[in-house]
């Protein structure tokens, strides 16, 4: 097969490329340039592109750089900023997977005559009866099926995830034994366009303008202020006051009114989480309402039981509130069923 491997310059995609070469595929590597100038850090810095190029050379495969900065800005960065201005907290890495890796990159691969693309995600694609399934990676601690949960048959039929069958330790071991220069490179942690020094504040401030907000209790009485209401996420404790008596959490955020309502941990518990109807996607067809599912609502969160009810998940046991805009991924065991975005709290049926 002719396979175009998305090589970020990290160890996982390096080993993905190595495994495909070893399996005899006709492999070409490509690094997406998504963000930033010459001196940037993050997942597509010049140093990372150089790492990818070196590994490609070590493997004897051709390497290209694709400049997708326009698309990344339009499909990921601008919506991320706009969402904050509306009080939602999206996961930009998921949107990057949705719009860049498994759309723009896949389309480029098609045009260039590749049969499939591959990435270094820790998840598994399995096939049977002409249908494709998405499963958790072999390494539970590194599983990334959550950030791929919005993929459907159209993508999965053309996607290879070679490292999903390995643990991270095995990936690093392989990289080391092959002498790949990315073998000991630390995992990327942060959103690539948010710097560790400036944080979300430095990024969002110039884009959307941050405004101070009032912090009120359930009765509407003001109990404090926050410097930037757009940066407050539902469930957040930091900056919400409380102190000695009872811990206070942001239970809802109204950006338009520049108001954060705080409450106790108990106030954050919901019996259900509504989703935005047009955000629902299925790996292999919809799940019938009433179906028991396992539900994961953050990249490293636990999957907890509930029931899919068509436009919401009803939890078996009350769960901590899901911030609007977060991805709600549905599983059957280790198999991804589908995904949707958590709706604004006001639209829940509570």
Partner 1 sequence: MAAPLAYLDHAATTPLRPEALDAMLPFLTEHFGNPSGSHAVSRAARAAVDDARVTVAEALGCEPGEVVFTGGGTEADNLALAGVVARRGGTVACSAVEHHAVLHATAALGGRVVGVGPGGVVDLDALAAALDGTVSVVSVMLANNEVGVVQPLAEVAAVVRRAAPQAVLHTDAVQAFPWLDVATLAQPAALVAVSAHKFGGPKGVGALVVRAGIDVAPLLHGGGQERDRRSGTHNVAGIVGMAAAMRATVAGRDATNARVGALRDRLADGLLAAVHGAVETGMRADRIAGSCHLRFPGIESEALLVLLDDAGLCASAGSACASGALEPSHVLAAMGVPRDEALASLRLSLGVTTTDDEVDLALKIVPEAVARLRGD
Asked if 38 is part of the footprint of partner 1 (rule: CB under 8 A), the reply reads yes
Q: Is 67 in the site for partner 1 (CB under 8 A)?
A: yes
181 in contact with partner 1 (CB under 8 A): no
Structure tokens at 214: 């009032």
In this structure, what are the phi and psi dihedrals at residue 13, rounded to the nearest 5 degrees?
Answer: -75, -25
Site string for partner 1, 276-315 (x = CB under 8 A): ----------------------------------------
Among 41, 64, 254, 307, binds partner 1 (CB under 8 A): 64
One of 33, 181, 207, 320 touching partner 1 (CB under 8 A)? 33
For the bound state, the minimum distance from the C-beta of residue 110 to partner 1, rounded and expressed in Å, comes to: 10
Write the secondary structure of 209-254 as one string of H (helix), E (strand) and C (coil).
Answer: CCCCEEEECCCCCEEEEECCHHHCCCCCCCCCCCCCCCCCEEEEEE
Assigned token pair, 238 = 């930091």
Contact between 44 and partner 1 (CB under 8 A)? yes
Are 159 and 125 in contact by the 8 Å Cβ rule? The answer is: yes
Q: Note whether 1 and 21 are within 8 A (CB).
A: no
Question: Which member of 43, 44, 192, 344 is catalytic?
Answer: 192
Q: How far is the CB of 23 from partner 1 (least distance, A)?
A: 22
Q: Taking the complex as a whole, how short is the minimal distance between the CB of residue 267 and partner 1, in angstroms?
A: 48
SS3 sequence of 61-101: CEEEEEECHHHHHHHHHHHHHHHHHCCCCCCHHHHHHHHHH
Token pair recorded at residue 77: 């960065």
Residue 53 touching partner 1 (CB under 8 A): yes
For residue 37, list its beta bridge partners: none
CB closer to partner 1 out of 105 and 146: 105
Name the segment binding partner 1 (CB under 8 A); options: 33-41, 135-143, 160-168, 293-301: 33-41
Shortest CB 108 distance to partner 1, Å: 6
46 sits near partner 1 (criterion: CB under 8 A): yes
Distance between CA atoms of residues 253 and 257, nearest Å: 9
Contact between 251 and 269 (Cβ < 8 Å): no
Rounded CA-CA distance 217/199 in Å is 28
Provide the terminal-to-terminal Cα distance of the chain, rounded to the nearest Å.
Answer: 51
Catalytic residue flag (residue 96)? yes
Look up 192 and say whether it is catalytic.
Answer: yes
Catalytic positions are: 96, 192
Footprint of partner 1 on this chain (CB under 8 A)? 31, 33, 37-38, 44-46, 49, 53, 64-67, 69, 108, 111-113
């Amino acid at each position: 097969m002719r396979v175009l491997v998305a090589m970020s310059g990290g160890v996982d995609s390096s080993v993905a490329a190595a495994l495909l070469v070893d399996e005899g595929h006709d492999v070409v590597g490509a690094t997406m340039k998504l963000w930033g100038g010459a001196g940037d850090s993050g997942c597509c810095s010049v140093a990372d592109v150089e790492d990818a190029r070196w590994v490609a050379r070590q493997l004897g495969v051709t390497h290209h750089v694709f400049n997708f900065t326009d698309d990344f800005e339009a499909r990921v960065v601008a919506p991320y900023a706009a969402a904050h201005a509306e009080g939602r907290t999206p996961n930009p890495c998921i949107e990057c997977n949705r719009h860049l890796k498994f759309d723009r990159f896949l389309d480029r691969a098609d045009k260039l005559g590749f049969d499939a693309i591959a990435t270094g995600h820790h998840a598994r694609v399995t096939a049977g009866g002409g249908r494709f399934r998405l499963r958790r990676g072999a390494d539970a601690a590194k599983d990334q099926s959550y950030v791929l949960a919005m993929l459907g048959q159209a993508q999965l039929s053309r996607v290879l995830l070679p490292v999903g069958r390995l643990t991270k330790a095995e990936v690093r071991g392989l990289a080391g034994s092959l002498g790949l220069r990315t073998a000991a490179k630390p995992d990327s942690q942060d959103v690539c366009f948010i710097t560790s020094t400036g944080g979300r504040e430095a990024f969002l401030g110039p884009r959307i303008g941050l405004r101070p907000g009032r912090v009120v209790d359930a009765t509407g009485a003001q109990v404090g202020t926050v410097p930037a209401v757009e940066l407050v996420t539902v469930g957040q404790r930091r900056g919400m006051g409380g102190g000695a008596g009872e811990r206070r959490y942001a239970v809802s955020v109204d950006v338009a009114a520049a108001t954060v309502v705080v409450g106790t941990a108990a106030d954050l518990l919901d019996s259900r989480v509504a989703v935005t109807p047009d955000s629902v996607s299925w790996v292999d067809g919809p799940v019938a309402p009433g179906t028991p599912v396992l539900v994961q609502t953050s990249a490293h969160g636990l999957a907890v039981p509930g029931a899919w009810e068509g436009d919401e998940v009803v939890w078996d046991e009350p769960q901590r509130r899901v911030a609007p805009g977060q991805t709600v991924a549905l599983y059957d065991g280790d198999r991804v069923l589908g995904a949707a975005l958590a709706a604004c709290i006001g639209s829940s049926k509570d």
